[in-house]
Amino acid sequence: MGYPDYEGQTGVIGEVRRELERATEKFAPFHSAHEGFAILLEEVEELKHEVFHGTRERARAKAIQIAAMALRFIRDVSDLRSDVP
């Protein structure tokens, strides 16, 4: 089961979807809830750094990544895979 294909999706939702697709092609699914949580936590720490020491553009990009990883957590850990602890 995948995500619906929304042709021409634009705006922030489209950016999140493209980031999710990119990450899905590049990295294996989360192997556990613990791994997914650790990845989300790492991304949030990187966002924190960008908020306090970086630029708005990098903070925005990091927020897009967090949204995509949250969706991936739901998909990999909660929705589709019964083999994930």
Residues with Cβ within 8 Å of residue 52, at least 6 apart in sequence = none
Q: Check pLDDT > 50 for residue 10.
A: yes
pTM value is 0.81
Question: Looking at residue 1, what is its pLDDT?
Answer: 39
For 40, the domain range is 11-79
Task: Round the CA-based radius of gyration of the chain to a whole number and report it.
Answer: 14
Q: Assess if residue 1 is contained within a domain.
A: no
Q: Assess if residue 51 is contained within a domain.
A: yes
Tens digit of each residue's pLDDT (9 = 90 or more) over 54-69: 999 999 999 999 999 9
- Domains contained in the chain, number: 1
Question: Looking at residue 24, what is its pLDDT?
Answer: 95
Give yes or no for a contact between 41 and 83, defined as CB atoms under 8 angstroms apart.
no
Q: Assess if residue 5 is contained within a domain.
A: no
Tens digit of each residue's pLDDT (9 = 90 or more) over 16-69: 999 999 999 999 999 889 999 999 999 999 999 999 999 999 999 999 999 999
